[in-house]
Amino acid sequence: SVMPPERGDDDFVPDDGTLVVEEERAYGRVSRDVYRAYMRSFGGMPFTIMVLVLFALLQGTVVGGDIWLALWTQASDPADHWFLVVFAMFSVANGLLSIVKGVVYALGSARAASTLHNELVARVMWAPASWFDTTPLGRILNRLGRDMERVDADLPQIQNTFITVSIVLLSLVVTICAIVPQFIILLAFVAYAFQRVRDYFRGSSLELQRLESVRRSPVYQWYGESID
């Protein structure tokens, strides 16, 4: 891991006489500080709330259009132009919100990636010389390479899918519960089972991803030494 620049040179010298410090990694659940750091880099709480509102409004136009279309098909006078006008308004609003949401979300994701990259580079550039003596070059390349690629490309896509699916699922659950109130009882059992499966899968998935990330550093190191 990249160490803070404010530490002294002696703090980076191993006490057991080894030349290379073992790479650190996190254990257990992702810390809340990680989420707060990414939210801060994304644009802060107000910007994040605005993005979530755009996601919700976009899904609202989809649900509203579906409900209006159902009312249109059941109307006594389907030829009434008022139904077509309102449905067209839902469609136009959906298209505009899709563009606005996409642009705003892309700006936030780019800002987060740029901020985290600049902070990481600053830590490396201001680190004392002893840190470079105990930290292999492959480890630094791994942090600045694959890890930043995940922040730049993978994380925004996964986050976009997660928010979209969560809002769609919430709208479906609210609609079903409004029509069939008895579904709330079944929903409690389904939510409990889902939480147990999620906790079991998330623990193993996080550990595998962390191990895979740590084990990639020696590969970069060996590859660089082979070229040299």
Sorted by where each begins, the domain ranges of the chain are: 9-227
Entry pTM: 0.79
Say whether pLDDT at 12 is over 60: no
* Per-residue pLDDT tens digits for 91-102: 999 999 999 999
Question: What pLDDT, on the 0 to 100 scale, is given for residue 78?
Answer: 65
Amino acid sitting at position 7: R
CA separation, residue 201 to residues 60, 131, 169 (Å)? 31, 36, 20
Query: Are 138 and 224 contacting, i.e. CB atoms less than 8 angstroms apart?
Result: yes
Taking residues 125-144, report their average pLDDT.
Answer: 81
70 vs 164, more confident: 164
Confidence bin at 79 (pLDDT 50/70/90): low
pLDDT over 50 at 119, yes or no: yes
